Amino acid sequence: MSPENEIRLNLLRSAPLDAWLALSQDESRIVATGTDYEEVARKADEAGEADPVILKTPPVWAPFSV
């Protein structure tokens, strides 16, 4: 796994479940969390993140197997 993917995976593992997240543009840190898209977009803007990556975490992480 690339270092970038490892960082992203660790961020997602540490994030709250069933929440909206704003990641920094380089996806190296969580800049905001919230209960809906509008809230997290506003918080990311207030944090000075011009182009955040916004996503929603699931209520439960499903196991993954290959």
pTM of structure = 0.83
**What is the DSSP annotation of the chain?**
--HHHHHHHHHHHHSPTT-EEEE-TTSSSEEEEESSHHHHHHHHHHTT-SS-EEEE--SSPPP---
- Going from N- to C-terminal start, the domains of the chain cover 3-56
Which residue's structure tokens are 């961020």?
Answer: 11
The tens-digit pLDDT sequence of the chain (66 residues) is 888 888 888 888 899 999 999 999 999 999 999 999 999 999 999 999 999 999 999 998 887 755
